A and B are shown apart, each in its own frame.
Chain A
Amino acid sequence: MRNIIAIADKELRSYFASPIAYIIIGFFALPFGVFFYLYLEAFLRQSMQMAQFGGNLNVNQQVIRLVLQNASVIILFVMPMITMRTYAEEKRSGTIELLLTSPVTDFQIIVGKFLGALGLYIAMLLVTLLYVAILFVYGHPEWRPLVAAYLGLLLMGGAFLSVGLFISSTTNNQIVAGMVSFVVFLLLWIVGWFADSAGATVGPITSYLSITEHFEDFSKGVIDTKHVLYYVSLITFGLFLTAKSVDSERWRG
């Protein structure tokens, strides 16, 4: 555990030691803010009209849910930037030789790197919580669905990170790692689009594979174990593949 923390800590520091962390957070927080502003404005306009007719609108459904669904797309673009260096850069610079000759296991290195990346991702999510806090100042959103939505974001991001970590472990070129990750993430996202047109048998499968599809329920404030299980399995699978990749690299030299 001590080794995992040491490596996670080093990863996290290395993000913040270079401009990378700030660029990534900016890349995420700015579009998030724009979406937030647009949906909030639309919501306020609508609720003003509704108030005249005596109706009531739900902030959670009308603002938070829509913003977070859009956020899941931004995440898709940002995640490759977080994971592309993790292994590729260590392999290029030779620092992997330090890690692999230290008394730490592959598992500890992989989990450490994953947690480090997750740490940066959590920092990104914390920044977006500042926006959400505005809602609490001016309104009374429910906090339970909000927690569910953020748990969903965390799990979905974790799944992206774990797949990205694997892709980074297969090359020593971080640009290649970043681009391949982006394409793979994109596929994991758009595969869900074919669900409707794919017919009765293939449809559910493509929809099941889609990484963002499983976020739907979370964004509505529902925690379904089915989706939790999906993300946790994907994370485990990604880390497992990374372990395989690191080990086979060792045998090939």
Chain B
Amino acid sequence: MIEVQHLTKRYGRVTAVDDVSFRVERGEILGFLGPNGAGKTTTMRILTGYIPASEGRATVAGYDVFDQPIEAKRRTGYLPETPPLYPDMTVREYLDFVARIKGVAAAERRTRVDAVIQRTHIDDMATRHCGKLSKGYRQRVGLAQAILHNPEVLILDEPTAGLDPKQIIETRDLIRGLGGDHTIVLSTHILPEVSQTCQRVVIINKGRVVAVDTPENLTARLQGAETLYVEVDAGGADVPTALTAVPGVTRVAAADTRPGSGAFEVESERGRDVRRELARDIVTRGWGLLELRPMRMSLEEVFLQVTTEEPAAEEAPRA
């Protein structure tokens, strides 16, 4: 549904997007994940036809965004980073205007506007001026505007930015509900968002695609260093020193900050399972093995790893 091939965008000497390629299938929700300045907004602006690419091409719903911009735009809904609202218009007037320029037929306009007002829960604000809305409501009106003409493709730039926790959940539900009928690309640097809403993730850093996969696979694939959670009853003995001596173990750290606790995080070499050795060692020392399990890395750690493992990424911001 969306096809991006070797997209590059340069601003003077800054390369904001560097040879980015990916595909999004019909009905899929794709997460675009990257730290500040990674090039998420720039890529989305190219996909929506707001700016042209320096190199490469992109098609949306089969139409080249550069050669057939009007056809592509007809099929695209876009929520920019800052919701594009006119402060002097009421929410309803605004949505009515958007419906007109998006080509919604006059006869359907009213029902469409009503439908998106319902769907994004902005009924209370329908007669309020856009300039007087809170950040969260501006974001929702922005979303309402994006889905107004029922486009096949939705490009959402940080759709949950500035929302309160309840609204975040509502918005994620809304986006998940839109998936299937719509093909969605959403950007975020909030990691749990991706695992909760997206079927696939593109991780981008400094303009380059670092990884493309499902959230589950990414977690598994990038689980380079295995981390185990170990809880022992050692009766006051020096556990870290003893466990570090086990072959394959690279690092042992207290998993609990309370002194005297027997919980530790044990890291081992990449791809090496040290559970058997570890258990044997603990038992032969006569300690009580209370718990031993692999720690599943959160996507947050995956992400940090991905962006910091790149050679050029030594100063990547810690998300």
Q: How far is the CB of B263 from chain A (nearest CB, A)?
A: 49
A interface residues, tally (CB under 8 Å): 25
The 6 closest A-B pairs by CB, nearest first: A98-B84, A6-B100, A17-B88, A103-B73, A103-B74, A101-B48
* A17 and B50 form a contact (CB under 8 A): no
* A6 and B101 form a contact (CB under 8 A): yes
Query: B85: which A residues are within 8 A, CB to CB?
Result: 93, 95
Task: Please give me the residue from chain B that is nearest to A101 by CB atom.
Answer: B48
Asked if A49 is at the interface (CB within 8 A of a chain B CB), the reply is no
28 A-B pairs, CB-CB below 8 angstroms?
A: A6-B100, A6-B101, A10-B97, A14-B89, A17-B89, A93-B86, A93-B87, A94-B80, A95-B86, A96-B84, A98-B84, A98-B98, A98-B145, A99-B101, A100-B50, A101-B48, A101-B50, A101-B76, A101-B78, A102-B98, A102-B101, A103-B70, A103-B74, A103-B102, A103-B103, A105-B70, A250-B51, A251-B51
Query: A250: which B residues are within 8 A, CB to CB?
Result: 50-52
Query: A179: which B residues are within 8 A, CB to CB?
Result: none
Interface footprint category on B? 20 to 34
Asked if A81 is at the interface (CB within 8 A of a chain B CB), the reply is no
Q: How far is the CB of A91 from chain B (nearest CB, A)?
A: 11
* A98 and B80 form a contact (CB under 8 A): yes
Tell me the complex Cα distance, A51–B48, Å. Answer: 73
Query: A94: which B residues are within 8 A, CB to CB?
Result: 80, 82, 84
Task: Please give me the residue from chain A that is nearest to B102 by CB atom.
Answer: A102
* A104 and B88 form a contact (CB under 8 A): no
Q: Looking at chain A's contact residues, is the secondary structure mostly helix, strand, loop, or mixed? A: helix
Asked if A144 is at the interface (CB within 8 A of a chain B CB), the reply is no
* B52 and A102 form a contact (CB under 8 A): no
Query: A253: which B residues are within 8 A, CB to CB?
Result: 9, 11, 51
Asked if B159 is at the interface (CB within 8 A of a chain A CB), the reply is no
Asked if A3 is at the interface (CB within 8 A of a chain B CB), the reply is yes
* A7 and B101 form a contact (CB under 8 A): yes
Query: A104: which B residues are within 8 A, CB to CB?
Result: 70, 101
User: In chain A between 81 and 123, which residues have their CB closer than 8 angstroms to a CB of chain B?
Assistant: 93-105
Asked if B215 is at the interface (CB within 8 A of a chain A CB), the reply is no
Asked if A225 is at the interface (CB within 8 A of a chain B CB), the reply is no
Tell me the complex Cα distance, A95–B98, Å. Answer: 11
Task: Please give me the residue from chain B that is nearest to A97 by CB atom.
Answer: B80
Asked if B49 is at the interface (CB within 8 A of a chain A CB), the reply is yes
Query: B89: which A residues are within 8 A, CB to CB?
Result: 13-14, 17
Task: Please give me the residue from chain B that is nearest to A3 by CB atom.
Answer: B101
User: In chain A between 238 and 253, which residues have their CB closer than 8 angstroms to a CB of chain B?
Assistant: 250-251, 253
Knowing that A17-B88, A96-B84 touch, tell me 18 more A-B residue pairs with CB under 8 angstroms: A3-B101, A3-B103, A10-B97, A13-B93, A14-B89, A93-B84, A93-B86, A93-B87, A94-B82, A97-B45, A97-B80, A98-B145, A100-B50, A101-B48, A101-B49, A250-B50, A251-B52, A253-B51
